[in-house]
Amino acid sequence: MTAACDLKNIEFLIVDDNPVMQRIVKTILRAFEVSNPRVASSAEEAIQALRTMPADIAIIDLDMAPVNGNDLIRQLRTEDSSPTPYIQIIVLTALAEKTDVTTARDKGMNEFILKPLSPMMLYKAIERIIKHPRPFVRIESYVGPCRRRKHDNSKDDQREEDDVSFIPEDTFPWNRNI
């Protein structure tokens, strides 16, 4: 069994327009000893909250209005005015079509959780982000975590170093001495 992740110094932002889901996720995070998970009910509130106080991990619902979760992810990853382009993003949604997962991945999410939520599902997603971080890449058509989970040594699958800029891993709190 692996050691539990210490989440006490990790800042979370929950972005969901459903107050019941906000409370459920907040309760689960508090059970993981997260001291003060913050909540935003819309993409606009999320951007404002991140400008005021950055978070390390955002848990974002896709099915929100007027700006949906995928548009929020795109804003966070690519817009020059983004307060936190390298935030770790967990998508938590009831949208289960393959296109929903693919679109969220292509916008730059780190992990995908399908509702109904269990504490173990959320913990495992957080644990993957912390214990098995993927490098962030910035290329013309994509900004976000490397979409390959395992390093592939095949020559055909290698990107030229000039095509990709990797984000320093010490950007994330679990890689710093807190």
Q: Is the pLDDT of residue 27 over 90?
A: yes
Q: Which CATH class is domain 12-175?
A: alpha beta
C-alpha R_g of the chain: 16
**Which run of H or E residues covers position 105?**
helix 98-107
Residue 159 and residue 168: Cα distance in Å, rounded?
18
Of the two residues 8 and 173, the one the predictor is more confident about is: 8
pTM assigned to the model? 0.84
Q: Render pLDDT for 45-103 as a digit per residue (tens, 0 to 9).
A: 999 999 999 999 999 999 999 999 999 999 999 999 999 999 999 999 998 889 999 99
Q: Examine the pLDDT at 39 and tell me if it is beyond 70.
A: yes
Give residue 149's pLDDT.
58
The domain spans of the chain are 12-175
Kindly state the percentage of the chain with pLDDT values over 90: 67
What pLDDT shows up at residue 133? 87
In this predicted structure, what is the pLDDT of residue 3?
64
* Average confidence (pLDDT) over 156-171: 49
